[in-house]
Structure 1
Amino acid sequence: MAFSIYQEFYKLMYKKITWISPLILLALMIMSGYTIGFNEGKLLTMTSYNSPDWIMFILVIIGATTFSMEFQNNTILTLLYKASNKIDVYLSKYVMIFGYNVFLHVLAIIFTVGLRYAPMNAQVAWSTSYRYQQPLWENMLKTSAIDLLTTMLIVSLVFLLSCLINNNAVVISVSFLVVFMGQFVTGSLLNSGRFATVLKWNPLNMINLTREYYNYITYYATSHLANAQLLIGTLFYMTLFFALGYLIFRRKRF
């Protein structure tokens, strides 16, 4: 297992996107700073300059290519040959993505510390009380921690889709459609009032967890679930998608 994890991190280190992504993340965070506005320093700090959306975007691409490229190139056969069993291969990829996810969130926090002093933002003290009567620094750290769960839910779903579809381009396209369009469709259905009691528990609604934490009033009206309910749903579907993805991977013929 340890060797499989080492292999995955080794491959990640030699991918160009691994080192390009932090630059893309920084550029998008700067863009968010100008877009959201000068007087929204508290919101920008709490959300690390809207980094949850940008990190989700990056992880969908990396997560989709993690399996599908190896299926296309048949390099998955080498991994399976060297590993003691299939769960080592599957779990090692998941651990690798989680590690990179943590790296991106830590990087976003570091970027936030620097961007707070840029002239595009109003200066707000770290100790300023904001959401949930907590200081701003605590809001930021908790938002990042919560977003780790939200993004790992997305990764679990992407892994499931990758095991169902071998083509890399198709996996990325379907993943983006499911994640981003799925949220819009779910919100529209819930706001229509029909079957809202059942539909509010669908997995795509759980992607609202991070957004609802930093903007409860707006997103509660969309999700129809409290923060704690979204958290429970996220953990449930993350585990479910991970298990389903592995079952498909285990039965897949190469």
Structure 2
Amino acid sequence: MVTLIRQELFKLIHKKSTLIGTIALLVLMTIFAVFSKMQPSFSDPKGEFIAAYGGTSWIVFFMIAACSTIIAMEFQYGTIKELLYRRYYRGEILASKWITMFIYSLYFYVLSFVFSVILKVVLFNSKFSFSDIYTNDQSVMHVTLVTYAGNFVGLWLLLSLVLLLANVFKSSAAAISVGIVGYFATSIVSSLMFMLINKWEWLKWNPLNMLNLPSQLSNSTVIGTLTRLSNTELVWGNLIYTGVFLFLGYLIFRRRNV
């Protein structure tokens, strides 16, 4: 297993898309921060820092693409046969890819946080401090860390579905498309979903509602009345659905023809 993870990390580090994704993330965050600096009347320095200057949103797209291709490419180029010939179990192969993507997502989140701090110090240091109260008597840094944690958990609910679809579809493009559409669909159908939950409360356990975790962590009073779930229930819901989707992906991967 350790050997497989090392191999996956080696391939990931040497892929051009990894470097491109890193540079793109930093550039996009910088553009967003500079624009906010130039247009102070339309910006909220504290809120933008908490949102990593748009970085956490871009990470979703980068990770959807990475998770879609890490499985599909093995079958597309036939390299899965080489792994199986080395007597690795399919479960080990798939788990090594999950762990690699988990490390990759951690890398992006740490990178976005560190770079957000740099942008704050360079562009907005006089506007606020990390100890300033932002909401619910919580400091900017506390809200930031909680928001990051919520986004990360929600990200992996979405990625677990993408990894499942990557095993279903032969093309990585299909999994990427469904993942991105699903990401946007969450915000589009949220109003309708809340109306349905208000009418049929059992619908509060649907996976789309679980993606409201980051919003609820930062504003439990308002969002909690819409989701009808506590923060703890949302966290467990995310983790359970993530586990279910990964397990279903494993079942499909185990039976997939090489």
TM-score norm. by structure 2 comes to 0.88
Which stretch has the larger CA shift, 119-128 or 158-167?
119-128
Counterpart amino acid of residue 16 in structure 1: K
Matches for 1:65-80 after TM superposition, within 5 Å: 65-80=69-84
Paired residues of 1:183 and 1:207 also in contact (CA < 8 A): no
Per-residue deviation at 1:42?
Answer: 1.6
Going from structure 1 to structure 2, the CA distance change for 1:2 and 1:105 (only over 3 Å counts) comes to same
- Distance of 1:97 and 1:128 partners within structure 2: 34
| Cα distance in structure 2, aligned partners of 1:26 and 1:191 | 38
Q: 1:42-80 CA distances to partner (integer Å, 9 max, x unpaired)?
A: 212222223222111110011111111222222122222
SS at match of 2:52: coil
AA of the residue aligned to 1:161: L
Once residues 168 and 29 of structure 2 are traced to their aligned partners in structure 1, the CA distance between those partners, rounded to angstroms, is 33
Aligned to 2:134: 130
Q: Which residue of 2 aligns with 1:11?
A: 11
Alignment gaps of 5+ in structure 2: none
Question: AA paired with 2:218?
Answer: Y
Partners in 2 of 1:84 and 1:110 — Cα distance? 37
Indicate whether 1:29 and 2:33 are aligned. Answer: no
Q: Distance in 2 between matches of 1:185 and 1:137?
A: 31
1:143-222 alignment to 2 at 5 Å?
143-192=147-196, 195-217=199-221, 219-220=223-224, 222=226
CA distance change for structure 1 residues 197 and 32 in 2, over 3 Å: closer, same or farther? farther
**SS of structure 2 residue aligned to 1:200:** helix
Q: How many residues align?
A: 254
The 3-state SS of whatever aligns with 1:49 is helix
Maintained 8 Å contact 2:160/2:246: yes
Matched, 1:107 2:111: yes
Give matches, 1:51-66, under 5 Å: 51-66=55-70
Q: Match for 1:2: what amino acid?
A: V
TM-score, normalising length: structure 1? 0.90
For the structure 1 residues 222 and 30, does the alpha-carbon distance in structure 2 shift closer, same or farther, using more than 3 Å as the test?
Answer: farther
Q: Unaligned regions of 5+ residues in structure 1, if any?
A: none
Q: Which moved more, 1:79-88 or 1:58-67?
A: 79-88
- Percent identical across equivalent pairs? 33
Q: Measure the CA separation in 2 of the matches of 1:147 and 1:81.
A: 39
Preserved contact between residue 150 and residue 213 of structure 2 (Cα < 8 Å):
yes
Question: Against the structure 1 CA distance between its residues 115 and 2, is the aligned structure 2 distance closer, same or farther, given a 3 Å change threshold?
Answer: same
SS of residue in 2 equivalent to 1:117: helix
Amino acid at match of 1:57: F
